[in-house]
Structure formats: structure tokens, C-alpha cells
Structure 1
């Protein structure tokens, strides 16, 4: 069943205190908490957009005002126009990720358009499937801990998440969220959040810009996201502080997002920082 986000007026302001929204900028959170939906002009005024390969700056335009019948991705590549539905949480969070990580979004778009040119708009390559999954639910985890990596590989969720906080304190974990659907689903606290993640093994911490640059470069150069099997599921609900029942003894057996590893499923080795 397709997820339907709650109406803006029905959302308790406390929802935006959830850690997932800490991955947005403060001004973006302000737009979330506001009683009014931001107009396209407001969204465009909140960033200094780069230009696309054709030399046009990226900008958000009301989808209903577009009458060109162009494919969503091709329009972005050709004119810089990002078709955006008004009064729509999904598209609002998509706009926020464009603002925060434009190089990553531009790389995703360029790869989508390249594959559309190969197979046409009515077919999808394995790469397109991977790109879309990352665009909608993607995360990047820097994890430098062999024990926690082995637990993740085996879907040993209790071990991974019971030791998560300590690993964060010693700098072995960093998490970045790129999938705009994750923010939309977090509007309903009862929903278990599951991301599709790339994992990087590095002893050194990265800042946000460095991580985004690395991911954008990997996508643009087709070193990343050529197949959905590159992405690992990670139930973000298991992170301490992300669910009110995390400390319950049966939490990892009762909540259905903590699935056992499928027989025959093998994950690729973590990416190594260059």
C-alpha cells in the first residue's frame, strides 16, 4: 500500500524533534514547522543552486504549471527545472535534499538520463533501479569496526544497535541520509524506518561536504549504484533514541523491520576511503 503522509495541520510539532530531522538544515526545519506550505519562490530563495550540464541553474517549479510533457529526469538535465508538487511532503523533502546535497542529486540525475538514452523511458536498467532506491531511501554509513560490520552482514540487529552508541562515542560510526522518503515516512512515528545504505570503512571521520563529494563522484563515474544489490538494508529504527521502545527486551524480535538475512544473500565488501 502506498504511503500517504498526514495533513500538515495534523502533525504534532514534536514529530520534528526526531533524530531523522537532525539531518536537515535549521531553516528547512523551520519550513517544516511553519503553519503554511512554502511557495516555489520561497524554496528557490533558500539556496544558491549550481548549474546543470547545459548551463541552466537548478530551480523548483510547480509541477502543475509545466505543460511540456517531458520526462522528469530529462527536464532537469535539459533545463534545470525540478518539477515539484505544491503542498506535498514528499516533494518538499526532495527539494531539501537538492538544497543540501546538490552534487549528489545532479549525479543521480545525469546517470538516470544516460540510461534513459540507452533503453528509453519505458524500460529500466539495473542501474536505474539502484539509483532510484538510493534517491528515495538512501543512506551512507561510515563504519570502522569489524565486529559491528560482521553483525550487520549477518543481520545480527541486537548486537549492531546495542553497541551503536558506544561506537559513535569513539568515532567509529557516521551516518548521512540522502533518501527523501525517509523524512516523509518519519512524519508517522509508528512507521519503522529502513534505509538502503552504502557502507564505507574508514578510520578517519568525514565532514558533510567531503562525504557528499565522494558519493557524487562515485555515482557520476559509475563506480557506485550499478545494481540494487550494492545497497544494504539498515533499519534506522534500531538506532538508540530513534524509537521509544528501543530498550525493550523483545524489541528486535517484535518489530517486523528487523528481518533475518535471506538465504544466499551476500553483501559486497565495504567501500574503502581513498
Structure 2
């Protein structure tokens, strides 16, 4: 069911078809589809959403208008950015129903460049990451499609694909210039990381949300919401750069790691409760916030 080498043509067909559909509806006076529940609930002032707000607000308005409008907005950005997927195919977004029957999702993206997308928050945030961290998304897609080529779809994903899926769905990028802070995260030393060295946040370490399922959960944040932190060692100068330069550096470094590490396992992550990140939740201004052992656990290494 794969159409290798057809990504650019398929992407342009998707854009043209969506534009034609939107125009036809306008001419006929057809009312837009009812918005998917949740789009209106995105609060772009929240620190986990704020880095993606510029594009996200445009997409949000399109999503509230209708499914075709969202796909058209996403494809307009894709055409301008000329982004590619894991095997160099031009990125485009298609309706979920356009995924051929029996086709594997990641393999279809790799071979055609077309990302099947539903009218929901989960796929909205997934699409956002193709622009926020394009190299990371392409690296994940390349590894996933290579694993599918080698092992097929099968009843289970296997260890490597499980890890890649976990990254895609739930990862946090923990950028850190101080090895002591990275060690505290790996060692579940919450008092050092989040209380004693609180002043280091923004100067020696910071977090970017990446996982699209995690972003979806953070529409209605709760204390136990935990991401899988991927620790990225950054130079001290990193914290002197603007946000765009930081994101570009992370995109390059993390994508290279994902493509270069043979033994990808979930042990490479460190759990990090999102609402415990300094500055991300008003309640964590009090040190007592971190006394909740059900959330800030001692962890397997302590046990």
C-alpha cells in the first residue's frame, strides 16, 4: 500500500483538495462542522503551551471553524516550511480516512510524507511538533519505519518501537548545563532539583514539552501528571540564546541522538512530574508541595 517517492505530489494534492472543499462550502453557504470538544480550552498562557502559541493560536481558530479548515491551515504551513518526514518526503496532513486500509501509520508517513490527522487535540498537538521540532519528529519517524521494515507490524511493537512511541507521546526535553542537576533528576532527588536548586531553573536548566499526548493531558492539569524527561546536555551559553535558537539546538542534538543510539530503551528516560517544575504551577511555590510521596516518589534507584 506504500507509494514511495510520491510525498511532494501527495502533499500538494492534499492542499489543493482542502482548499477546493473549503471554497465550495463557502459558495454553497454550508455551515462549518461543529468544533471538536477541547480546542477552545487551550490556554496559551500556560508555560507548557506558550512556546507553541504563535502558530497554535492560528490553528486553534481554524480547528474551531472546522476539520477542513484545520487541515488547510496545517498544509499551508507545511508548504511554506518545506518540512520533510523520515525518508525525505515532503510533509503534508491528510484526513484520517485517507489512510489506506491496512497501511501502518508511521510507514505511510515515511513513504508518502502524509500524516493522517483527526479533528482532535491529540493530533492537533502531534502536528504542532512537526513544526516546533521537525528534526526530532523526522528522526522518530525514520526509526519507527525502519523497525517496521525489519520486523513488520506484528501483535506488539517491540522494545525500540515502544521507546520511540513513549518519546513521541510523553517526552519532556530537559536541557541542562549543570551535571549535578541532571544527576538529581536521574536520582529522584526532588529536594535538590526542585527546592534547594530552584534558582538554577532558567539559568542552568529548563524544560520543553514534546509529547503530544502529554500536552493533551495538560489541557486539564493534575498534580500526578508525569512526563518522561530526555536529558540533553547543553553548553552554558545555551541560556544566553533566544528561544528560537535554543529550540533549534535541541532539535539538532536530540534528533542526532535518536538516530545514533542503537539500544533505545525506556531506561533512557527519567520521570518528571510536570506541575513540579519551578514556575509552572502556583502551588509549587511552597516547599510542602513536594512532600507528596505519591507524586514525588523515591523511585526505583532509591528502592
Three-state SS of the structure 2 residue aligned to 1:199 is strand
CA contact (8 A) 2:190 2:296 kept: yes
Match of 2:127 in 1: 95
CA contact (8 A) 1:195 1:234 kept: yes
Superposed displacement of residue 176, structure 1:
2.5
**Could you list the runs of 5+ residues in structure 1 that have no partner in the other structure?**
1-5, 266-274
Match of 1:36 in 2: 65
The TM-score with structure 2 as length reference comes to: 0.75
Max Rg structure? 2
Listed as ranges, the matches of 1:118-267 within 5 Å are: 118-122=150-154, 123-163=156-196, 165-169=198-202, 171-190=203-222, 192-206=224-238, 207-222=246-261, 226-254=264-292, 256-263=294-301
CA contact (8 A) 1:142 1:202 kept: yes
Decide whether aligned partners of structure 1 residues 125 and 165 sit closer, same or farther in structure 2, where only a CA change above 3 A counts. Answer: same
- Select between 227-236 and 255-264 the one with higher mean Cα deviation: 255-264
State how far apart, in whole Å, the 1-side matches of 2:182 and 2:85 are: 37
CA contact (8 A) 1:142 1:200 kept: yes
Decide whether aligned partners of structure 1 residues 99 and 150 sit closer, same or farther in structure 2, where only a CA change above 3 A counts. Answer: closer
CA contact (8 A) 1:23 1:177 kept: no
Residue in structure 1 matching 2:109, options 76, 88, 102: 76
The TM-score with structure 1 as length reference comes to: 0.82
Decide whether aligned partners of structure 1 residues 98 and 164 sit closer, same or farther in structure 2, where only a CA change above 3 A counts. Answer: farther
Listed as ranges, the matches of 1:10-29 within 5 Å are: 11=41, 15-29=43-57
Instruction: For residues 53-108 of structure 1, give each alpha carbon's deviation from its aligned partner in whole angstroms, at most 9, with x where no partner exists.
Output: 6653111101023334310011011111101112x000000000012222111110
State how far apart, in whole Å, the 2-side matches of 1:180 and 1:245 are: 24
Match of 2:89 in 1: 56
Point out which structure has higher relative CO (alpha carbons under 8 A, 6+ apart): 1
Decide whether aligned partners of structure 1 residues 51 and 142 sit closer, same or farther in structure 2, where only a CA change above 3 A counts. Answer: closer
Instruction: For residues 178-232 of structure 1, give each alpha carbon's deviation from its aligned partner in whole angstroms, at most 9, with x where no partner exists.
Output: 2111211110033543211221334434421121011112212335x61111111
Superposed displacement of residue 116, structure 1:
1.4
State how far apart, in whole Å, the 1-side matches of 2:85 and 2:108 are: 11
CA contact (8 A) 1:84 1:91 kept: yes
Higher fraction of helix: 2
